[in-house]
Amino acid sequence: MFVIRFFQTLIVVVLLISSAWAAPSGPVVVSSPDGSLKTTIFVNGDGELSYKVDRKDQSILQASTLGFQFRDVPTVGSDCEIVREQERKIRETWHPLWGENKTIVNNCNETTVFITHKNGAPDAAVTFRVFNDGLGFRTRIEPQDGFKDYELLAENTNFVFPADHTAWWIPDNWDTYESIYSQTPITKIGQVSHPLNPSHTHGAARGDAPHGCNTPVTLSTSNGLYLALHEANLTDYAGMTLVPREGASPTLKSQLVPWPDGVKVRGEAPFLTPWRTVQVADTPGGLIESSLILNLNEPNKLSQVENIRPVKLLGVWWSMHLGAETWGMEGGRHGATTENVKRYLDFAADNGFDGVLVEGWNTGWESWYKDDNFDFTTPYEDFDLPEITAYAKKRGVELVGHLETGGQIESFEKRLDATLDQYKKYGVTSVKTGYAGQIRPAGQYHHGQWMVRHYRKVLTEAAERGITLNAHEPIKDTGLRRTYPNMMTREGVRGMEWNAWSRGNPPEHTVNLAFTRMLAGPLDYTPGIFDITFANTGDEYRFWNKIDGLETKGRLHSTLARQLALFVVLYSPIQMASDLPENYEGHPAFQFLREVPVDWDESKVVNGKLGDYVTLARRQGNDWFIGSITDENAREFSLPLTFAKPGKYEVVIYADGKDADFQSNPTDYQISKIKLNTRQKKSLKVRLAPGGGAAIVMRKVD
Ligand code: NOJ
Ligand code: CA
């Protein structure tokens, strides 16, 4: 049955599967297709199921145990033996509806080991898939005597490293991913706080659960390798965090986000974990170019895909974060008025954008913290939904919907059908959701199983109505967009908004995002602010940040050219140019935002160093768009153009001005136009100012 369905859904790809069964006589070895990566699965001297990973004679992971503690069930993975193994080869090429690359190769060798227990624990199967650039493994337990309804109390997946590698990580807050990345040895993960993260960043009500990090966490080794740990296909399970464990070797151990009663995962057998993933690359850019997370998800399940397309938006949004307009009607500065929205729609239509996101159009914002305050369908009196959607249609652009739930899940679920039906009725095909604040009912967390189920429910309900989603305060991305391509993008990142009302994001932050958060999938950072110091917004409106007792006026820590570069560096199929139309109007650099695509045929990392700089080149058709960003240090690059087809190009370079500096002179920029032939000219010089960047358009002309 499984095999038949598998073939049905993969009709358009080349797939070769060979399968072999055997009873293992010793450790089971799974090698990558190119033979460079080797995973060995075995039972250690204490009877514990274990695995280790090597790459060309280097140890990636030393003997690491795997196990599960269910309520009233002996430990799975202890006192066990491997009784059987099954092998498959997966050789597949597939084409996502949208993404960083139009063609994705899924080549790996798969082995499932079947274990039985002497301690009376249920039989289990652990499947490993080993790719050239990493591996994934997951555990499955079929229903059997003594294992039907289960309650998982702990997953004990260990990652034991041969050395205390450098790690880039965010705290394992159970409600938010909106943190600055810290750089420490593995053994210090979760043990220090970044000065820019709010003091609650580890989360409040977590009892005595040890502190650690969320995933993806990225590591660099002293012998020049880069690793990233994450998970793929998180479907009906709790989000996995990682905590360092005391022991001889640096070890990270899984810690799942709990239900209010402490149970981690509950359900009815079969029990199936998401894939636990380890990416391995010779360069930090290799991690970005990998498709391992997507390949560990199932093929597209949606047949109704007409509305699923990447879009470039403007938003009635930033003005609210600045305080110049409001989400609600209080104070007479309501942003989402019919007139204002039409102004945005006109600006979008006139400049080749696809639509406008509008927040604060529905009632309830004044009483956000009251239960049941939003009904998600009633517009404020100065917002005419039928008129606006008809106007948008006339202008050939879209209204993008918004649903801020304030974390009130039961209230939202009660109204979900009516809410999505209303959007469908008015032809709104793209909706942003939000879950700011603590989850109600209290005791549930954004990253626990209960919320994973909620996010999935919203996704599938939206899919049925041909609606695409952009979730804010989401569960982390684990590659689900392959299966549900209406899951376009999500936040789960300390994005632009933090510059409006906190001490902001240092230049290094967006560099690090490319090598960490972006490995999970698209991120709705919302770049594109031109008024870097908010000079055009009166101080009287501005929020003043009091986080951690520090009062500071908001501003960006960026140059203007860098804002353009972020559209290429930080991938998202929904990109919202986040500044106000009046800050774009007539600005020469706005031309780049008009032109930059939101969907790509191919993506390449040109250079990069964690914490320092990164350059990406992305292709649409024969044209390349390049984005390069640096930390607080100026840099000069000679960018190799080997990614581009040989030939003639017209090149426009949006660079930092001679005197640009993210602190003292952020808006100094220069635009230069040149013609070049990549047959003769093999590289391009760019200079990035401190906190700066460069955005380059290369259009093929022959
Ligand atoms: C937080 C989201 O990240 C932001 O984009 C949104 O504007 C506010 N919540 C209000 O919903
Ligand atoms: Ca947010």
Q: How far is the CA of 588 from the centre of ligand 2 (A)?
A: 30
Element (H, E) at 397: none
- Ligand 1 atom closest to the Cα of residue 404 is 11
Q: How far is the CA of 393 from the centre of ligand 2 (A)?
A: 29
Kindly compute the dihedral angle of the four CA atoms of residues 7, 12, 15, 21, in this order, to the nearest 10 degrees: -10
Is the Cβ–Cβ distance between 643 and 624 less than 8 Å?
yes
Q: Which ligand is nearest to the CA of 361?
A: 1
320 Cα to the center of ligand 1, angstroms: 10
**Quick one: which atom of ligand 1 is closest to the CA of 320?**
7
DSSP reduced 3-state for 237: coil
For residue 491, which atom of ligand 1 is closest to its CA?
Answer: 3
The CA distances from residue 255 to 154, 463, 610, in Å, are 7, 31, 26
- Show me where the domains of the chain are located: 4-302, 502-702
Rounded Cα distance, 276 and 284, in Å: 20
Angle between helices 409-425 and 449-464 (to 10 degrees): 10
For residue 541, what pLDDT band results from cuts at 50, 70 and 90? confident
Mean pLDDT, range 331-355, rounded to an integer: 97
Give the atom of ligand 1 at the shortest distance from the alpha carbon of 402.
Answer: 11
Q: Do domains 4-302 and 502-702 have the same CATH topology?
A: no
Size of the chain, expressed as the number of residues it contains = 702
Question: Residue 526 Cα, ligand 1 centroid: separation in angstroms?
Answer: 11
Report pLDDT digits (tens) over 110-153. Answer: 999 999 999 999 999 999 999 999 999 999 999 999 999 999 99
Q: For residue 61, what are the CA distances in angstroms to 133, 242, 278, 287, 513?
A: 14, 15, 10, 17, 25
What residues line ligand 1, using a CB cutoff of 6 Å?
A: 317, 359, 404, 434, 436, 472, 491, 497
Question: C-alpha distances in angstroms, 451 versus 252, 255, 405, 458, 474?
Answer: 25, 17, 13, 11, 9
CATH fold for the domain made of 4-302: Beta-galactosidase; Chain A, domain 5 (2.70.98)
Mean pLDDT calculated for residue range 80-104: 98
Question: How confident is the model at residue 553, as a pLDDT?
Answer: 78
Nearest to 596 by CA among 561, 562, 557, 623: 623
Burial letters for 41-76: b for 16+ Cβ neighbours within 10 Å, e otherwise? Answer: bbbeeeebbbbbbbbeeebbbbbbbbbbbbeebebb
497 a catalytic residue: yes
> Using CA atoms, how far apart are residues 108 and 33, in angstroms rounded to an integer?
6
% of the chain at pLDDT higher than 70: 95
- The tens digit of pLDDT for each residue in 474-492 reads 999 999 999 999 999 999 9
- CATH architecture assignment, domain 502-702: Alpha-Beta Barrel (3.20)
Tokens of 143: 């229903």
Nearest CA to ligand 1 atom 9: 436
The pTM for the full model equals: 0.96
- For a mutational test of ligand 1's pocket, the pick from 179, 327, 404, 446, i.e. the residue with the most ligand atoms closer than 8 A to its C-beta, is 404
Taking Cα atoms as reference points, which of 618, 579, 628, 622 lies closest to residue 598? Answer: 618
Report the mean per-residue pLDDT for the chain.
Answer: 94
